[in-house]
Structure 1
Amino acid sequence: MVSENIDASVDNDSNNEDDQIDGRSLSEDENHVRNVPSAGVHEQGECDPDWLAVEHFMKGCGCGRHCQKNFTPSSVYQSILDMCEKSKDEKEMFLMGILSNCLDTSSSTKRGKKGFRVRTHFAINGASVCRETFQLFFDVKRAVLYALIQTVNQGGCTPRTHGNRGRKPKHALMFDDVNRVVQFIMNTSEEIGLPYPAAPRGKDNIPIVFLPSSTTKLHLHAHYSSACEERNVRCVKISAFKSILLHCVPHIKIAKPREDVCGTCERLRRDIVGAVTEDEKLHALTAMETHITDARKERNVCLNCVQMAVSDPVRYCHFTFDFCQSVSLPHYGRQMGQIYFMTLRKVQIFGFRKSGDKQLNFLIDENETHGKDGKMTHGPNAVLSMIDWALEATSNQSRSFIIHADNCPGN
């Protein structure tokens, strides 16, 4: 009897201990589940939207099967994190492998009729779940899920490709469209553009052509649209027009107001600003308008001469010459910092250009200058000597030739 009582007491104690342990574990799990939301809060205090979605899911999935009972919050949350770590292609291939076992490919319905629609029975780890649970567990949107189902149904588990891949869109620009824009811009630059004699340092060998500062891209596009309507051809939009102007003809630019000036313009602008009386203002304004009109006439005459020399080089020759700013040697166009020398070596540059052909550059070193301290390098004797040599080297048997030069009195 004693032994039986002892055994019974031991059994009761062990059962009580198991109950206590089970009760402790259940209570700890419950406390863990209640305290899990704190794990979904970042150190900055911002709530994790994935964890909030898991919390909402654990309250009820919305279907009559109560799918949330088959999962724990930590398992659902870990599954979402695992899917987020996968790339787009890896995630799609993984889901298509699961969906391939969920499709009901039976060709008949419950009533024995021919089936036209493929049914999908979603399952996770062998347990049947609803679509909302499947989307949350594998972190997939509804539209993507339906697209994956359609891909598996039509072609099996194959990587998805966009339907427009390799297909040229309807609004794509053709070569003729781009060529018309380029030709229009180049023709406009020949009519109203002011070409530089040489390309800037550090750039390619194409000289920059500046359009007047009063011209805008919108104004150019309006003229281009009118020309396209007259010829009954396709007209590109303003955004494509700007892109072609920037990438196809980068040497044609619209001059800024500070770049489209000369010494006379600056002097007349100061007169306009400093004018006090009405008569002074009218006089300054009239002088500015006259100067602009004369400059346009000179530009048109120069452009006409260039066009004649290019179109008929046998009858006409057109020359332009001018001095460039002196260059100090050693010189590096893309110099990051200063180069220290006791005294830099100055070189004078005299440019002589034949329109439609080439340009000659005369480099005058310090020991080749004329006059005392090189003051006569820009004088008439030096200029005439270089022009005479350039004419003998470049001119042909043309009937007439035209020379344009700077209005510097020393030249």
Structure 2
Amino acid sequence: MLCEVFIRMMSQTSEIYSQESTIPYELSQTDDVFLNELAQVDELYHIGHESFAKSNDNLTVFQSNFVQVETCDVDLGNHASISFEDVDDHFDDYDGDTCDQVDCLLYDDHINCGESESDQIQMDHKQNDIRKEDQKEAEIISNFTRETCQCSVFYGSKPCSTIVGVDNLLENRTQCQELSSREKELVVKSQLCTQRKNSTFTSENKKSKKLRMRPSQKYFFHGQQICKKTFCFAFAISQSTLKRMSKSYDMYGLSVNEHGNCKTTPAHALSFDDTTRIKKIIEEYANKNALPLPGRLPNCPKQTVLLLPCDKNVTDIYDLYMKSAKEANYRVVSLKTFRNKWNSLCPHIAVATPATDLCVKCQKFIGKLKTNAHLSDEERHNVLSDYTCHVQKANRQRQLFKDQVLCSKAVCSTTDVTEGAEPCSLDATLHYSWDFAQCVHYPHHAMQVGPIYFATPRKCHVFGMCAEGTGIQRFYMIDESEMPGKGGDCVTSLVHHYFSHFGTGEKHAEIHFDNAVGQNKNNTILGYCMWRVLTGLHESVSLSMMLPGHTKFTPDWHFGVWKIKWRQSDAECMEDIAYTVKASSRSGHNIPQRVNDPSRPVVFLNWKTFLENYFKLLKNITKYYHFRCTADEPGVLICREFCDSEEVRFNLLKARPEAGCLPTVKVIPPLDHLRQWYLYEKIAPFFINEVARDIVCPKPSIPK
């Protein structure tokens, strides 16, 4: 009864202390793992004090005090009536010897309880953390150390393992376990060959000479003869493995025994016919799609290189192979095997990398560095310095573009931006970029017939105007009969149409475009930007260009997404081309805009002659890559060579333009009659839809 009162009191007291001082209420109510651990600690604590109460017969005063606690009217369920201060007062009543005796008894009882639950739990955790292989190895070492080899042949009653030393055996065993199987076999065979007798007769003495029935083997370790069991333990092998190595040594000597399947063709290997089919389909695909490259590859110097277009990679070609192989019931290999066979059988066929519009300066620098054998160290250092400086300039120009795009996206993510808003109605800065794509020809079919490659179908020019803030690009599709040319008037008219119908009303516009003098970098574009500022359509406009050859930017990404859809589509009229643009982006980032759209038609104006009446021409325009005009300085064009260069101001204003006054309409001549007859005779037969043929390639009214 005394122990039960003591346990109850200590359990409740510890619970009070833990809840009031360290354990949060939520943790004690919801964390089941923590409560289980706390119950285990409580149980261990009670077990220790029960053993203490049973073993301590001399501490009568200590027991009597707790008897008093039991007999008094104390509500043990009331947490406020018991605290650790009361318990400390009980212990303070005893002298130092009694307390020391209590501590010693508790410690001794804890040590003597070797199979206690806490020790068992810790052992279980340790065993769970050890691998089975390590447990088995530890068991082998423990058994051998405890039982030894138990032989008494060589050293009387002493086992040979005790003579050579168990520590030496363990060290050698550990080193052998670090070796590979082939290395270990060589080590064991080298030990066997020194004391192995495999002659025809058992003795050289003629009188006692007998025919040898089996080889004789002695085992040594550090100059001491040992038994087979100790030898196997020292070299970390089993007796069956030792027997196999001994037999291999008798048959093949010190050479490592190899598996029977080594250097033999496995049953699942590709046959000659399977390999031939893979090579044939690669060559047939190359004959249809590849172009010969007048260069050489390092791994095939004597063969003409065939360069495949980059619209399909090796995985796409593998899909074609897998489809045809399944249809013909041939064996299908994995993609990895297909790649390996391609590299070994057809190394002269390669897929081109999508690298276009390369920088001329970079290619010259790379060419000089590749053929630098004739250059001195100083010349080589100068070339490398110039190349590094050029790349750093290009990177700074690129970083400016990235920063402006990020700022524009941040504005659109926090501001309600709507297309077609009134000019200067949004106090923000947005970024735009434009570029021309490579023109496409129609009629176009995914399964294109061969003769049309030698003809010139009808052309469709594509101009992209991208708003990076919203991620939307408008594709202006211009038929060759509607195209006034890729000069300043065409680009300015398309940009004016975009800002008039799809502008978001920002006050400040930042624009990037290609560094093409005829299309973008001309006085017409500069005069149009200053005209927009002077007429109140913008408060400021900045124009920026990247270095030539480093001009890949957002419009090219949108063009690439569209071209993927274009290669897989059929298009015989402008409506079909517009559908491919719309279908290329599921999220609506690519939007087509036809020039002759009845709701928003594009009108080409004579901007060049119109702007020459109000602005002067800028000299040395190709020298600068950054231009800016603001309403604070009307008619002044601020120019910079690079993004970190000093600003230079030019006053180009002749006369202030009137708001709302536009240029005259540009007259676009019709198609030449020879071109019309060519489309009718050469291109019309390739149409599938007769209605589209009559619209795109009608019979000319002018005689041939």
Same fold per superposition (TM over 0.5):
no
TM-score range for the pair, normalised by the shorter chain length: 0.3 to 0.5
TM-score (normalised: structure 1): 0.43
TM-score (normalised: structure 2): 0.28
Query: If you compute each CA radius of gyration, which structure gives the higher value, 1 or 2?
Result: 2
